[in-house]
Structure 1
Amino acid sequence: MNDTPNIADDRVSRRRYLRERAARHEAEQLLEGKSRELFLANQQLSDYSAHLEEAVAKRTVELEQALAQAEAAGKAKSRFIATMSHEIRTPLGGILGMIDLLSMDETDPAKQELLKYAATAGLGLSRIVNDVLDFSKMEAGVFIFEEGHVDLRALIESVRTLTNASEISANREIKVDIDDSVPQILLGDATRLRQVISNLINNAVRFSTEGAILIRATSAPHEKGALLRVEVEDFGIGISECGIKNLFKDFSQIANPLTAAAKGTGLGLAICKRILEGCGGKVGVESQLGKGSTFWFELPVEIGTEPESNTAPSMAQEGLANILETKRVLIAEDNIVNQKLLLSYAKSMNMVPQLAKNGRIALEMFDPGAFDLVLMDVAMPEMDGLEATRRIRMKWGDVSMPPILALTAHVMEAVEEEAALVGITTILSKPIPFEELKAALQHALADAGSNVIADIAVPEAVSPSANRADVLSKMTPATLTELLSIVSEEMLLDLVQEYVTDASERMQQIIGAVADNDINIIKEQAHSIKGSSLVLGFSTISDCARTLEQNSREGQITPHAIDQINSELAELASFLA
């Protein structure tokens, strides 16, 4: 009787044990499963981490490569812009300059009218070139804004006067209303402001046929100083709402009866928009079809103070009239056409010019007591103008140094910093009209003071004796006809003589380079001869020079091309003897 409870207890204890063991086994399996899952998750996380680091490293390399490519592309664009600026503006400057020279000597009213039309067409081409180059600079990120004192009233008046003098604005009234709220002096980029305002006024004239053009300017308080608002209103054909949406886009023009006559690149307003946005402003238009348009822009500006005038009595404008007469000027220029143009300009100003065909020659010719002024082209072979100026200053210091003015067909901003480093503060952009060059030289001399060398007599120009028929027969007929439509026969023969002398000197360098196996000099000089030969229509020489240049790029020398060029130059020289 006493053993029955013990047996029951044992059965209960065993069942409990079995349940506990089963529960423990189940817990162990669950724990093992969870541990396994955790292990696999950690392993997967490690794999993801490794792959992520690899992906980040790979992406970083790709981004660095993309950045390097973008920087290289930006530099390539900058080089392209500088090259195109130089290559386009140099011949364009020669054309406009020759037209300018002919206009000064021509007395026949009919021919004067033709020259006026040619100059107008050339200036129109110049504006288109400048628009395209400005747009390219903006695309490449090399468009630079400067800050200086701006007299808005004087700036608008000068634009108005210039527009009134142009053919497109004949018999059109341009009215100006500048509110008293507009500060007398603003801080901003005068060149870009002039560009925007001039563009808006020209558009108003071109896209309307009658009625006045109204220019208004007001300002309101702004945290920067003042919020300038300029409006240009016309009473022309107006613009539709659909047209307004596309008006400020690149290469966009509104289709209307005046568009074809006005012509242009479709970049003017797009450039204005980029200029203003680059300066922190904005541009817009309000227009009604058949009633006219009002283009406006708003620009936050700082208020400046009018700089004190430091003009000495001796520098008064009336004293500038004859300041250039009998003054000696050293002209450093390698382009044959530009040489002739600048020499003719200088003689027309009654100056005494001396020519240096590159920077090295200019350095050798320079002496502080020999010249009152120096005109230094920037891009020249052997030694460029900036390097020549730097060496001149190193050799002579600043004592009695005459004013040195730089001439460039490159993008202005590309040379300003380097020019400032060598002490050049005045840079003239090609093409430069006669009157602008004259004014720049007058002010350079006036600013330098009256310590200039004694006046000397101006030597008379000697015209070469030439067998005209033989010389002109060597030119291609099309080029000859074109050149004679721009310059006189005497001037053309002068150019040929300069060309023969220059090309012969370059051929001597090529012959020396052949002996030294210097391919770079051969290529450089052949390229120059090719270009000048093409300009004057000497096709045989240009073809041989092209062959010489192309073969030199591949490391080859072409003796028969050298012999042919020398033979052609010798024949031309005999005609000019």
Structure 2
Amino acid sequence: MTENTDDRVSRKRYEREKAARAEAEALLEEKSRDLFLANQKLEEYSSNLEQAVLERTAEVRLALERTEAASAARSRFLATMSHEIRTPLGGLLGMIDLLEMDEKEPGKLELLNYAKTAGVGLSKIVNDVLDFSKMEAGVFLFEEENVDIRALIESVKILATSHETGTDRQIVTKVSDSVPRLFLGDATRIRQVVSNFVSNAIRYSFDGPIIIKATTKDNDGKTILRVEVEDFGVGIDAEGISNLFKDFTQISNPLTAAAQGAGLGLAICKRIINGVGGEISVESTFGEGSTFWFEIEIETVDLQNVSGADGLNPPVDLPPEGIQGTRVLIAEDNIINQKLLLTYAERMGLVADLAEDGSVALEKFAPDKYDLVLMDIAMPKMDGLEATRHIRERWAAEQIPPILALTAHVMDAIEEEAGQVGIDKILSKPIPYEELKKAIENVVAGNLSSSNSGPVFSSKPKRAKAKPQIEEARSLVDLMAPDVHKNLVEMFGLDGLSDFAGKFLQDSSERIEKLVSANDDGDFKEVRAQAHSLKGAAQALGFPDMAEWARKIELDETGHEDMTVLETAEMFRAKLTELSVILKG
């Protein structure tokens, strides 16, 4: 009996254990199944997540590429618009300057002054719009240079009082002794802000002085420069102040009948000051006046480490003859700017040689042939940057004179590349006569870095200058074969001969340009045809040198004396220049 009882107990225990194992196995199988399904879902989620990440990454990359393309397009558009607007505007203002130099009649001078004022006003609006566009496109850069705030404020004062609207205004400057003589900053941008403050003070006040103040204070070991411009004019109400520094915003001016400018001046000033980590604002009482101010952190420059005994750049030290006879190669494709620059050069007494594009400039250039190169940036066939690069590659640095770039482009956009190819200095179009003259004087004096008209990349030593060759010929007989001159004078008289020579000059000048253009295009048949006509006309009027050069071009003999067609044509041009001077005299 006992044994049977034990058997039953053992069997029941076995059945319980068996059931428990079955239940555990079933639970394990269920959990395994759940884990398998979970792993499947996890793998699916992982795969989906990976795909989503790839798709999102592709979307972000595409968006970035589109943003970069849009930014590049905006920069190209900005550069193009800058060039296309500034080039004709520069020509317009330059021609007005030339007319103003020669005009004596008061009535015409007044009209020219009105035209110049309108042109300068247009130039300011264009510059404001382009500056605003540069900021929007992210290509607005700041320079770091030595800034003399006293000289800067004085230059703003002189410019403001010389302008028609500011001639009768009193502008007072007060610069604290605490302000350092020199500090590091962007002089051009600081001048732009101060000039805008002063311009607005003149515009929005009728009388009373305009006060420009500059002070410094210490802020946790940092030197803070504060510049204020105070006027006693119409003032600004609270609503006007809240909108004052917004884009395309102007406040009403009871002193003028219409708004002036594009409403971007103060908005640009705010972006400039904020861009260098400063503050800008205004304090104003309606009907009593306003004080515009900005504060920026500055770093004082040690005067002992600055060239010049007074801590400034040394003055221009010109030779006794000044810049007379300086040999300059002008590379410019725009016909208006060609005329403008050549006229400028003539007035300065320079010996100018013209190249219509970069490739011609490269062909004309040779060591010790020129003392200076004025290189336009945007030209067909070969631009100024490429031409400069080729010049630097072909000749050693000591064989190359200073190369000054003339550009209507946004300077910030080309400055880096200009420095890389070897441009010594950038001059921004439109460039006034006096500014160009000053830049050339600095080159002649071997003091290229002292000019403030643009970024400087290096300085060049003084070079020997040539006296103008046009002084060698005093009359037609000096250019002509004596027997031909005698026969023509007997037949037509001196006046008749001068008339023939004038027609020859005009026709030959046109033909030599056609010849050069045809040579550039590889149209050698046209080259020979033009050379044949030039040869016949030169022989008929007794100009043996020009006849011989034309003959060599016609018969393709220029290569025998290591003279290219373009070099021979340039000699022809030089002789035509002599003839032109004689006929004008």
Using the size of structure 1 for normalisation, the TM-score is: 0.74
Which residue is equivalent to 1:348? 347
1:453 equivalenced with 2:453 (yes/no): no
| Mapped contact 2:318–2:444 kept (Cα < 8 A) | no
Sort the Cα spacing of 1:498 and 1:218 in 2 relative to 1 into closer, same or farther, 3 A: farther
Per-residue deviation, 1:158: 0.9
Residue 280 of structure 1 pairs with residue 286 of structure 2: no
CA contact (8 A) 1:337 1:495 kept: no
Residue matched to 1:85? 82
1:407 match: 406
Partner of 1:426: 425
Is contact 2:318–2:441 with CA below 8 Å preserved after alignment?
A: no
Q: Secondary structure at the match of 1:61?
A: helix
> For the residues of structure 2 that align with 1:495 and 1:291, how far apart are their CA atoms?
65
Alignment partner of 1:230 out of 217, 227, 230 = 227
Give the Cα–Cα distance (whole angstroms) in 2 for the partners of residues 308 and 439 of structure 1: 19
Q: Is 1:165 aligned to residue 162 of structure 2?
A: yes
SS at match of 2:362: helix
The structure-2 alpha-carbon separation of the partners of 1:30 and 1:414, relative to structure 1 and needing over 3 Å to count, comes to: same
> How many angstroms apart in 2 are the aligned matches of 1:503 and 1:292?
63
Q: 1:499 to 1:206 in 2, by over 3 A?
A: farther
Structure 1: state its 5+ residue gaps: 463-493, 516-577
**Which position in structure 2 is the counterpart of 1:112?**
109
Paired with 1:223 and 1:54, the residues of 2 have a C-alpha distance of 53
Listed one character per residue, the Cα deviations across residues 229-252 of structure 1 (whole Å, up to 9, x for unaligned) are 111222222222222222222222
Distance 2:86 2:343 in 1: 19
Contact kept, 8 Å, 2:90 with 2:430, in 1: the verdict is yes
- 1:399 aligns to what SS in structure 2? helix
Q: Which residue of 2 aligns with 1:471?
A: none
Deviation of the 1:288 alpha carbon: 2.1
Distance 1:450 1:345 in 2: 21
Aligned mates of 1:131, 1:58 — CA distance in 2: 42
Q: Give me the whole-angstrom Cα distance separating, in 1, the residues matched to 2:256 and 2:56.
A: 49
1:392 matched to which residue of 2? 391
Match of 1:336 in 2: 335
**Alpha-carbon separation, structure 2, partners of 1:461 and 1:205:** 54
**In the aligned structure 2, how far is the partner of 1:423 from the partner of 1:180?**
41
Q: Quote the offset at 1:108 in angstroms.
A: 0.5
1:236/1:291 contact within 8 Å kept: yes
Higher RCO (Cα < 8 Å, 6 or more apart): 1
- Whether 1:257 aligns to 2:269 is no
2:307 is equivalent to residue 308 of structure 1: yes
Contact in 1 for aligned 2:370/2:401 (Cα 8 Å): yes
Task: Report deviation, 1:149.
Answer: 0.9
Amino acid aligned to 2:292: F
TM-score, structure 2 as length reference: 0.73
Q: Percent identity?
A: 57
**Distance of 2:317 and 2:39 partners within structure 1:** 91
Q: Partner residue of 1:479? A: none
**Which residue does the alignment assign to 2:442?**
443
Aligned letter for 2:215?
Answer: T
Cα offset, 1:345, TM superposition: 0.9
**Which residue matches 1:134?**
131
Specify whether residues 117 and 173 from structure 1 end up closer, same or farther in structure 2 by C-alpha distance, changes over 3 A only: same
CA distance in 1, matches of 2:10, 2:462: 127
Code of the aligned partner of 1:425: D
Matching of residue 205 in structure 1 with residue 202 in structure 2 = yes
Q: Deviations over 1:361-399 (max 9, x none)?
A: 222222344333322212222222233233334444233
Give how far 1:284 is off.
1.4
Deviation, 1:9, is: 10
Q: 1:389 is paired with a residue of what secondary structure?
A: helix
Deviation at 1:253, TM superposition (A): 2.0
Could you tell which deviates more after superposition, 149-158 or 163-172? 163-172
Report the counterpart of residue 99 of structure 2 in structure 1: 102
Query: Deviation string for 1:488-536 (max 9, x for gaps)?
Result: xxxxxx99998998689668877959x9xxxxxxxxxxxxxxxxxxxxx
For 2:394 and 2:343, locate their aligned partners in 1 and report how far apart those are by CA, in whole Å. 30
Which piece of structure 1 moves more, 249-258 or 194-203?
A: 249-258
Range that drifts further, 37-46 or 371-380? 37-46
Partners of 1:167 and 1:228 in 2: how far apart? 31
In 1, distance between residues paired with 2:510 and 2:260? 37
Corresponding residue for residue 124 of structure 1: 121
Kindly provide the amino acid, as one letter, of the partner of residue 292 in structure 1: G
Look up the match of 2:152: 155
- Partner letter of residue 418 of structure 2? A
Contact map agreement 1:336 1:499 (CA 8 A) in 2:
no
| 3-state SS of paired residue (2:445) | helix
Label 1:124 to 1:224 Cα distance change in 2 as closer, same or farther (>3 A): farther
CA displacement 1:177-199 (0-9 Å, x = unmatched): 11222221111111111111111
Judge conservation of contact 1:403–1:445 (CA < 8 Å) in 2.
no
Take 2:429 and 2:32, find their aligned partners in 1: how far apart are those partners?
A: 81
Helix, strand or coil for the counterpart of 1:131? helix
- 3-state SS of the aligned residue for 1:160? helix
Give, in whole Å, the separation in 1 of the partners of 2:250 and 2:411. Answer: 28
- AA aligned opposite 1:456: P
| Gap change, CA 1:505 and 1:179, over 3 Å in 2 | same
Change in Cα spacing, 1:498 to 1:282, as seen in structure 2 (3 Å) is: farther
Match of 1:532 in 2: none
Kindly indicate whether the alpha-carbon contact (under 8 Å) linking 1:326 and 1:458 is maintained by their aligned counterparts in 2: no
Distance 1:147 1:54 in 2: 48
1:178 aligns with 2:187: no
In structure 2, the CA distance between the partners of 1:103 and 1:299, relative to structure 1 (3 Å rule), is same
SS of structure 2 residue aligned to 1:244: helix
The aligned residue for residue 367 of structure 1 is: 366
Give how far 1:404 is off.
Answer: 2.5
Q: Is the 8 A contact 2:328 2:351 kept in 1?
A: yes
* 1:350, distance to aligned residue in structure 2 (A): 2.3
Cross-structure match for 1:530: none
Task: Provide the C-alpha distance between the structure 2 equivalents of 1:457 and 1:350, rounded to a whole number of angstroms.
Answer: 12
Q: Is there any run of 5+ residues in structure 2 with no aligned partner, and where? A: 447-459, 476-504, 527-585
Deviations 1:391-437 (A, max 9, x none): 33444423354332221111112332333234322211111111111
* Alignment match, 1:218: 215
8 Å Cα contact 1:376/1:404 also seen in 2: yes
Question: What residue number does 1:417 align with?
Answer: 416
Deviation at 1:461, TM superposition (A): 13
With over 3 angstroms needed to count, the CA separation of the structure-2 counterparts of 1:223 and 1:56, relative to structure 1, is farther
**Structure 1 residue 223: deviation in Å?**
5.6
Match of 1:239 in 2: 236
Matches within 5 A, 1:461-472: none
| Residue 40 (structure 1) shift | 3.5
Per the alignment, residue 382 of structure 1 pairs with: 381
Q: CA deviation at 1:35?
A: 4.8
SS in 1 for 2:172: strand
Q: Tell me how far apart the structure 2 counterparts of residues 132 and 28 of structure 1 sit (CA, whole Å).
A: 81
Tell me, in whole angstroms, the C-alpha distance in 1 between the residues paired with 2:128 and 2:512.
Answer: 37
Q: For 1:70, give the aligned amino acid.
A: T
Moved more, 281-290 or 338-347: 281-290
The Cα of 1:10 is off from its aligned counterpart by 10
